[in-house]
Structure 1
Amino acid sequence: MAPPVVRGTAAWRYFGDFRDLLLAGQVLVLQVAHPVVAAGVRDHSGYTEDPWTRLMRTGASLSIYVYGGAEGARFEADRLRELHRTFTGFADGRRYSALNPGAYAWVHATLVMAPVDAQRFFGRPLSPSELDEYYAQMCDVGRLLGVRERDLPASWPEFEQYYRETISSFGPNETIRTLFDTIATVGKPSPRLPDAWWRPIRKAHARAQMFLIRATVPAELRTRLGLEWTAADERRFARTRRMVRLLGTLVPPPLRTAHMRWVGKLNVWLRAHPRAYRFLP
């Protein structure tokens, strides 16, 4: 039995760490590399038209089921299952559902691995005891979301093997190409932002995001996707890691997750007071 996600436990410390944001692109690529997830995103996601809203909603959802308390997590889990129940269609002549157990578990698995990867790249790798506690807590979160117990391995070492084996079956697909195109052509987050300002910002953001994707996607998948990686890129990433690691040491541990905890509490309050949404922009 895993301890609840409360102050001081592994999931509380690492799931919402600000450095996790650096792996947002990697997580998206790994999720849509799964053929069922790719089909669902292609047919039902509006991220290409309004990626900023989609990003904010995803962050709010993640914050609730980890930092929103047991009641908030149950509410969000019920909402997500009901939403995904409507995401069905056909891919390669076969009917798919977003609640396909393997695909649903895989999406959760990418969210489980991302904070561990973030610490490995940009912080201090989790100890074996921290990994055991963290994984047990995230499995409990997965069960709240409807991930069947048998669809995720029982221990962290088994999970790592499952993760590697799943990625070994992935390759290029249309949704990944669309994701890369969206990164390069994403619209302004606000219509008030002048085009002359946004164009260089978008170019720099796309360059940085694609660099982080190339750096953090597993090497075998990076090769299959045709993403170039050079010795110069490796040196640049090493410098980036050192810089982010230093920044992380300057931020007190409780503040590293403060943004996600605040968003989680805010969203729980908004769920209980839906009329407040009228006052949001």
Structure 2
Amino acid sequence: MTSTHESTGEAVEGSASLSFDQGIREAVPMPVDDLDPDLRLGPDSLVWKFYGDIRGVLGFQRLAGTENCIEQLGKAVEDHSVIFSDTLGRARRSGPPIMKTVYSEDPHKWGRTVRDFHKPIKGTISDGSRYHALNPELFYWAHATFVDQVLYITDTFIRRLSYDEKVQIFEEGKLWYQLYGVSARNQPQTYEEFLEYWDGMLDRFVPTKTITYATGYIRKGIPGPRQIPAPVWRVLSAPLNAFARTIVVGTLPPQMREVCGLEWDGRKEKSFQRFAKVMRALNPVFNKLPMRVLYLPWAREAWQRVGVDPRPLFNAPA
């Protein structure tokens, strides 16, 4: 993967991997409650501008997938989630509190709500070592995938970001993480460290049961409604499956494609890049859409609350 977008609070050259391994195996929750009550993101931030944009849905599989390719997080979902019986329901329940941590009038309340969801989530992985969802190394990894989503989706499907804008989004991501109230001991301190951290985490990807299940629709085809005969659905679903196997898979890091057994080649890469280029070219058109179309409800309500129209903001291409 070519990075478009890193904390070992005590990062020493060559020690980041060891620090992560030691920290993750402690499996100790480390909540933090002495937060500045005025700490929040706002309409002057790039995260506000781009995180709630409807085009973010193009990165749904990258976001959910990269999280769950790390064994401890994939096992936590397997042990404690209803993803195998109610995948969409889980997404509907977990997504809004995270959105509200960015966009609500009380981000601290929602950040702590997200954190406290994870208090009972603990267990062991294949080598017998323990995990805990509020261990800083594990919790930060989950957060890093959201920072990556803002960086990657914006730069790929909305408009090219300048280096300074990528740095700004990373720095805003550090503030965002503070709102959850979990120790930041493993958080990268600079954007360059984040890039190094991200690439190192990609190299840790394994085919967890969670991610293998969650990407099954790509390998096997999107399942159809029971009321539609299978031969009919094969015809109707052909364009949907083509989209999933080219555009959805195109958003994934190569390491994730490999562990999930997802086919990729030069032809698909060219098709994906053409699609991304067209999406970026259409950005001026998207920014003329009504707010109710362009932004997810939590973001739209926040912009309306502060009396700002975000469509003209931060639109100059890098």
The one-letter amino acid paired with 2:267 is A
The one-letter amino acid paired with 2:142 is V
Kindly provide the CA deviation profile for residues 236-255 of structure 1, in whole angstroms up to 9, marking residues without a partner as x: 11221133223332122894
| Corresponding position of 1:63 | 99
RMSD: 3.0
CA distance in 1, matches of 2:273, 2:257: 18
CA distance in 2, matches of 1:176, 1:102: 20
| Corresponding position of 2:69 | 33
User: What secondary structure, in the 3-state scheme, does the structure 1 residue paired with 2:199 have?
Assistant: helix
Figure out how many residues of one structure are paired with residues of the other and give that number. 260
Shift of 1:166: 1.1
TM-score of the superposed pair, with normalisation by structure 2: 0.72
Shift of 1:257: 3.3
CA distance in 2, matches of 1:68, 1:58: 15
TM-score of the superposed pair, with normalisation by structure 1: 0.80
Alignment counterpart, residue 196 of structure 1, candidates 214, 218, 228: 228
Q: Are 2:75 and 1:23 aligned?
A: no
1:1-281 correspondence runs (5 A): 4-69=40-105, 71=106, 73-92=107-126, 93-181=128-216, 195-196=227-228, 199=233, 204-252=239-287, 255=291, 256-257=294-295, 259-262=297-300
Check whether the contact 2:69–2:256 (CA below 8 A) recurs between aligned residues. Answer: no
CA distance in 2, matches of 1:197, 1:125: 44
CA distance in 1, matches of 2:300, 2:204: 38
User: What secondary structure, in the 3-state scheme, does the structure 1 residue paired with 2:164 have?
Assistant: helix
The one-letter amino acid paired with 1:161 is E
- Identity rate, percent: 23
Check whether the contact 1:32–1:38 (CA below 8 A) recurs between aligned residues. Answer: yes
Do the aligned partners of residues 245 and 9 (structure 1) sit closer, same or farther apart at CA in structure 2, a change above 3 Å counting?
same
* Higher share of residues assigned helix: 1
Which ranges in structure 1 are unaligned for 5 or more consecutive residues?
Answer: 267-281
User: What secondary structure, in the 3-state scheme, does the structure 2 residue paired with 1:171 have?
Assistant: coil
Shift of 1:185: 7.5
Deviates more, 1:195-204 or 1:81-90: 195-204
User: What secondary structure, in the 3-state scheme, does the structure 1 residue paired with 2:156 have?
Assistant: helix
The one-letter amino acid paired with 1:75 is K
Shift of 1:258: 5.2
CA distance in 2, matches of 1:107, 1:203: 33
Do the aligned partners of residues 220 and 53 (structure 1) sit closer, same or farther apart at CA in structure 2, a change above 3 Å counting?
closer
User: What secondary structure, in the 3-state scheme, does the structure 1 residue paired with 2:264 have?
Assistant: coil
CA distance in 1, matches of 2:228, 2:258: 36
User: What secondary structure, in the 3-state scheme, does the structure 2 residue paired with 1:43 have?
Assistant: helix
Shift of 1:63: 1.8
